[in-house]
A and B are shown apart, each in its own frame.
Chain A
């Protein structure tokens, strides 16, 4: 069940208002994305916690509507 990139990006922006976000549709099928997110929300958190924040922002779509989302998260340098 694909999900438009714009919807994904909107969910991420809503959850991380300060973030720099780049979403890439890896396979062109609306189902395999890569997202790079740079946000102060990630500061000092281990990667597992950073990614859990992102999954929480997607409210259960991950593993459901979204098959694959490669994540690169970091705090601003």
Chain B
């Protein structure tokens, strides 16, 4: 196995572990307190507004992670939101789902919103 293949498999392992251990996981640029990109900031604002707990993973900490997360989900851009291990979407989809109420419904159905 080449070093590159080993890196990819380590990154994929990290991503699977993250989305399994955290019911709501956001791969983003920067951190929830200090988003490094407007699109990531929008998703953080929406999740905060809904009052859902989530873990933000800063993809800028490593180039392997930044590329790896795109390959993992077959999605070319950051941010990427996962709920209960399922890829929900990027900024546009999350915003649309928030505006239509679908996101709240999804989170409530998964028992992730305080009643």
**In the complex, how many angstroms separate the beta carbon of B63 from the nearest chain A beta carbon?**
13
- Closest A-chain residue to B78, C-beta based? A63
User: Are B93 and A48 neighbours in the complex by a CB distance under 8 Å?
Assistant: yes
B76 in complex: contacting residue of A48, A62, A70, A72, CB < 8 Å:
A62
Task: Take A62-B76, A62-B77, A63-B70 as given contacts and tell me if A51 and B92 are in contact as well, using a CB distance cutoff of 8 Å.
Answer: yes
Q: Mark A40-65, 1 if CB is under 8 A from B, else 0.
A: 00000001100110010000101100
Q: Does A75 contact B (CB under 8 A)?
A: no
A52 to B90, CA, bound (A): 11
Q: Mark A2-15, 1 if CB is under 8 A from B, else 0.
A: 00000000000000
Task: Take A62-B76, A63-B77 as given contacts and tell me if A51 and B70 are in contact as well, using a CB distance cutoff of 8 Å.
Answer: no
Q: How many residues of B contact A (CB 8 A)?
A: 14
A29 to B96, CA, bound (A): 25
Q: Mark B64-107, 1 if CB is under 8 A from A, else 0.
A: 00000010001111000000000111101100110000000000
User: Are B75 and A52 neighbours in the complex by a CB distance under 8 Å?
Assistant: yes
A71 to B62, CA, bound (A): 27
User: Are A55 and B93 neighbours in the complex by a CB distance under 8 Å?
Assistant: no
- Closest B-chain residue to A71, C-beta based? B92
Q: Mark B45-66, 1 if CB is under 8 A from A, else 0.
A: 0000000000000000000000
A48 in complex: contacting residue of B70, B77, B89, CB < 8 Å:
B89
A11 to B92, CA, bound (A): 21
Which A residues are closer than 8 A to B by beta carbons?
Answer: 47-48, 51-52, 55, 60, 62-63, 68, 70-72
| 8 A-B residue pairs with CB within 8 Å | A47-B97, A48-B87, A48-B93, A51-B92, A51-B93, A55-B76, A68-B39, A68-B77
